[in-house]
Amino acid sequence: MTFPPIRTAVFPVAGLGTRFLPATKASPKEMLVVVDKPLIQYAVEEACTAGIEKFIFVTSHGKAAIEDHFDANPSLEEMLARRGKTAELAIVRSAQLAPGQAVFIRQQVPLGLGHAVWCARHMVGNQPFALLLADDLILAQKPCLSQMMEAYHQLGGNVAAVMDVPPEQVDRYGILDVLKDDGVHVQAKDVIEKPVLGKAPSHTAIVGRYILQPEIFQILGQQQTGTGGEIQLTDAFPALIKDMPFHGVRFTGKRFDCGLKEGWLEANLAFASTRPDLKEHLLSVIEKYYEVRAQQ
């Protein structure tokens, strides 16, 4: 069976990033840098690799830096070209999205992730779409969304990236109530948002990558509030599951929660360790600080 292709991706980037204050006082949290690229660029590159052609950013006040980042910068490019910095010029241009590819819309009131997704409904239209949360940075040989695309073309319906978490962490995630599990693909009969410890139906948790059918907008449009008094995306999944399949994909790779300082710091170390130009220096620095700590 052939399923409609996924050509559109939504990036909810309206959050305040209060955990990283004061760094996020005047700069979007999605512009936090891991090694030498902002989080949102990693997410966009992952989407590009998976075949996405239209990029919808749901922003809020103070997020203009994201729009500028994916735009052309003629004065910077002219300066780099004049000075013969061809490598740097290529890097700058590689971050640009083509004219008409990027759409920026506002979530005027912070009513939750589900509300942010609902704000994109007119731009997405009546077609399935990908949803990427830039806070969840995934290091993988094959990008996570590409792995999910393969599952979608096999299974159809709705698809989410999932991983198994320790029992004491289930209250941080949306957790699948599992119907079938072949080790890679997990079919859900329900999804519970942040269940109470000891009450979770499984340890299989959703992370910030989704392929969703457009019917999600009708459910989110009911504006029902959930955890924290916000319109939660996960709360819409049970109604969606009643009418169509919902599968989790245990992706191959390592996920870093860059919404937390600890996750962002670990991501910097992990991504730097994959870089030939940085790996040796990174190891020497770690060894130096390990020796200092051991002597204390």
**202 pLDDT above the threshold of 70:** yes
Tokens of 35: 């090694």
Pair 236, 223: CB distance under 8 Å? no
Query: What is the fold of 8-259?
Result: Spore Coat Polysaccharide Biosynthesis Protein SpsA; Chain A (3.90.550)
Instruction: Give the 3-state secondary structure percentages of the chain, helix then strand then coil, rounded to 5.
Output: 40, 25, 40
Strands 37-38 and 33-34 come out as antiparallel
Per-residue model confidence as pLDDT tens digits over 115-170: 999 999 999 999 999 999 999 999 999 999 999 999 999 999 999 999 999 999 99
Backbone angles phi, psi at 68, to 5 degrees: -65, -35
- Over range 95-124, report the average pLDDT: 94
Q: Which amino acid is at 71?
A: D
Separation in Å, CA 156 to CA 6, 171, 289: 11, 28, 49
Extents of the domains making up the chain: 8-259
Q: According to the model, what pLDDT value does residue 295 have? A: 67
Specify the range with the lowest mean pLDDT, choosing from 219-233, 240-254, 270-284.
219-233
Residue 196 per-residue DSSP state: P
Tokens of 267: 């991501």
Specify the range with the lowest mean pLDDT, choosing from 53-62, 142-151, 220-229, 237-246.
220-229
**29 pLDDT above the threshold of 70:** yes
Three-state DSSP class for residue 230: coil
- Over range 173-201, report the average pLDDT: 93
**52 pLDDT above the threshold of 70:** yes
The pTM of the full predicted model, rounded to 2 decimals, is 0.93
Specify the range with the lowest mean pLDDT, choosing from 143-147, 220-224, 278-282.
220-224
Three-state DSSP class for residue 23: coil
Q: According to the model, what pLDDT value does residue 296 have? A: 61
Mean pLDDT score of the chain? 93
Per-residue model confidence as pLDDT tens digits over 243-266: 899 999 999 999 999 999 999 999
Q: According to the model, what pLDDT value does residue 231 have? A: 87
Q: According to the model, what pLDDT value does residue 293 have? A: 67
- pLDDT classification of 291: cutoffs 50, 70, 90: confident
